Amino acid sequence: MTDRKSRVLVIEDDEAILMGLRENLEFSGFEVITATDGKEGLHMAETRKPDLILLDIMLPTMSGYEICRELRDSRNRVPVIMLTARHEEFDKLHGFEMGADDYITKPFSIQELLARIRAVLGRVRQSEGAEEKFKFGECMLDTGSRVLTRKGREVPLTKTEYDLLVYFCRNPGKALSREQVMNDVWGVEYYGTQRSLDSFVASLRAKIEKKASSPDHILTVHGVGYRFLN
């Protein structure tokens, strides 16, 4: 059972899967609300204030990618776990770029899903426990407002970019292996590859560095991974 009754919104158009998820989640101590199409799901995400969303990608009226993007664009940071039958790395990477917190491919065991839900909720609660401000170069990162500014102007970040930057800021000067970064930021069950991480780092460099090709802050440690300098 969970320590408290977290509310989970399941957005899934397959009635059999939806019913199975509802029964298992309720048995495990969660409050469950459901939607069977994209627009209804987005409305419930905005009005019913779930603690976490289980989000299918292929939905009527609006895809899971579109829902996730709409939520992040409106600064809604509710954690999202994508549910999909797809398994290509591009699909997973695209989900993370839209702001998903985790990704699980059908078919999956309910035990694995519950472990992922609890891990994501645990990371969210831990990150909400303290508000910090990090100053580096021309940038300021405020974890209270979840806003990055550069020369006083806000710089938009995806959920993945934000999580990665906070992690770097909290671990300055350390040589961090790619595997360590992926495990610490996204959990040991993260489906992405080191190439995916490198792609996110390149995107971050373009936003925070004076010259992305010659970075001052996110440095490459050859044969290891990365080192962040204030």
- Same domain for 16 and 115, yes or no, is yes
Last residue of one domain, picked from the residues 101, 127, 153? 127
Check residue 2 and give its pLDDT. 40
Do 54 and 83 have their domain in common? yes
Same domain (yes/no): 96, 59: yes
Question: What's the number of domains the chain is made of?
Answer: 2
Mark which of 127, 143, 161 sits at the end of a domain: 127
Sort 30 into a burial class: Cβ within 10 Å, 0-12 / 13-18 / 19+.
buried
pLDDT of residue 3: 45
Do 41 and 111 belong to one domain?
A: yes
Q: What amino acid occupies position 128?
A: E
Q: Which CATH number do you get for residue 91?
A: 3.40.50.2300
* CB-based contacts of 61-64 (< 8 A; 24+ apart in sequence): 61/37, 62/37, 62/38, 63/38, 64/11, 64/38, 64/95
Cα(56)–Cα(76) distance, rounded to whole angstroms? 18
Q: Give domain status of residue 1, yes or no.
A: no
Helices 15-27 and 110-127 cross at an angle (nearest 10°) of: 60
pLDDT in tens, 47-100: 999 999 999 999 999 999 999 999 988 888 899 999 887 666 567 677 778 888
Are residues 140 and 99 part of one domain? no
**Domain extent at residue 192:** 133-228
Note whether 123 and 137 are same-domain residues.
no
Q: What is the full DSSP assignment across 139-193? A: EEEETTTTEEEETTEEE---HHHHHHHHHHHHSBT--EEHHHHHHHHH-TT----
Q: CA 33 to CA 159: how far, in whole Å?
A: 24
* pLDDT score of 13: 94
User: What is the Cβ-side half-sphere exposure of residue 58, based on CA atoms within 13 angstroms?
Assistant: 7
* Domain harbouring 176, CATH code: 1.10.10.10
Q: Kindly report the pTM of this predicted structure.
A: 0.62
Which of 169, 158, 149 minimizes the C-alpha distance to 101? 158
Of the candidates 91, 109, 127, which is a domain's last residue? 127
Q: Are residues 99 and 155 in the same domain?
A: no
The rounded radius of gyration (Å) of the Cα atoms in the chain is 18
Residue 170 backbone zone (phi > 0: left; psi -120 to 50: alpha; other: beta): alpha
214 and 165 in a common domain: yes
> For residue 99, how far is the Cα from the chain centroid?
5
pLDDT tens, N- to C-terminus, the chain (230 residues): 344 589 999 999 999 999 999 999 999 999 999 999 999 999 999 999 999 999 999 999 999 999 999 998 888 889 999 988 766 656 767 777 888 888 888 888 999 999 989 888 887 776 665 678 899 999 999 988 889 999 999 999 988 899 899 999 999 999 999 988 988 887 655 556 778 889 999 999 999 999 999 999 999 999 999 999 98
Does 25 lie in the same domain as 115?
Answer: yes
Domain-embedded: residue 2:
no
Residues 192 and 212 both lie in one domain: yes
Same-domain pairing of 16 and 102 = yes
Q: Quick one: 180 and 113 in the same domain?
A: no
